[in-house]
Amino acid sequence: MKQLSLDNLRTFVSIVELGSFLKAAEAVGRSQPAISLQIKKLESQLERKLFTKVGQSYQANKDGEYLYTQAKQMLAINDDIIRSLSTQQTLRGRLRFGIPSEFASTLLPSIIGEFSQRYPDVSLDVTSSLSRHLLSKAQRKDFDLILALSDSEPDERGEVLIEDDLVWVGDAARKLSKNVLPLVLAPEGCVYRSRVIEQLKQQTHAWKITYTNADLYGLMAAIKQGLGITALAKSSLPSELDIIKDPRLPSLGKIKICLFNQDTQHPQVSKTLSTFIRARIN
């Protein structure tokens, strides 16, 4: 009887969830060639191809989707056994995490479930706000770990995860006004808002802010009602919105997505969550 490797199955699940061999390699702590060999061995054992390449990402085919469901159950049972019977000290503590609202909507769902399942003794206290507020002297001390946007290099406690494209987003089904560009933006102090206004002031096209809201869901609702367009980091683009192309829209350049570790009383918790975040930032 063939024996499937749980290690290979864990790698397979990571590729399905992250859509990339490279990101999965970072998540499981192996090289990309090493995890490619794991998948080849798995496909050889099952005599089935498991992935279809779509653009730059990998998606599970029909057989892969079936295996993904079964593999998740097998890994959950394995992890429960290890967790229940292990004599080693488990990760525990409270982590205060600050994150911009757009990443809270798109990044957190892919992290919280798996992180909480693996580390049930860790309590996550998540606050969503503008990057400027999270990093202010008044609020920064209230967090152990902060994900934030920045136009400049971070201080000694921060690291740049990626330099992401700042893109125009909206509802592709809604046509833009030919006379005045309508904008829905976060309040003053938002990095996106500052960049948008800075670039538009260098253009000759008319524009106006039609709606202001600090919450991404509020902006999305306004966009869906046809009130205008906004700007977001490409990696935080929700599936409900589209990248908008229009000759009147200037390039917005790039934005730094940074992680700030506040050197807390639970450094191992912060380090572990940081690893989850790095693996899932596109």
pLDDT score, position 88: 45
Residue 255: its H or E element: strand 254-261
Q: How many residues does the structure list for the chain? A: 282
Tell me: the pLDDT tens digits for 87-142?
445 778 888 999 998 888 777 777 777 788 778 888 889 998 889 899 998 888 89
> How big, in percent rounded to 5, are the helix, strand and coil portions of the chain?
45, 25, 35
pLDDT score, position 263: 66
CA 83 – CA 262 distance, rounded (Å): 28
For residue 128, list its beta bridge partners.
Answer: 99
pLDDT score, position 84: 65
The answer to whether 96 and 127 are in contact (CB under 8 A) is yes
Tell me: the pLDDT tens digits for 60-90?
999 999 999 999 999 888 877 776 665 445 7
Q: Which domains does the chain have, with CATH numbers?
A: 6-85 (1.10.10.10), 93-163+257-280 (3.40.190.10), 164-254 (3.40.190.10)
Which residue is listed with tokens 């330099």? 163
User: pLDDT tens track of the chain, all 282 residues?
Assistant: 778 889 899 999 999 988 888 888 887 778 888 899 999 999 999 999 999 888 878 889 999 999 999 999 998 888 777 766 654 457 788 889 999 988 887 777 777 777 887 788 888 899 988 898 999 988 888 999 999 998 888 887 889 988 999 999 999 999 888 899 999 999 988 899 999 999 999 988 899 999 999 888 899 999 999 999 999 999 888 888 999 998 899 999 999 999 998 867 778 888 888 888 887 775
pLDDT score, position 87: 43
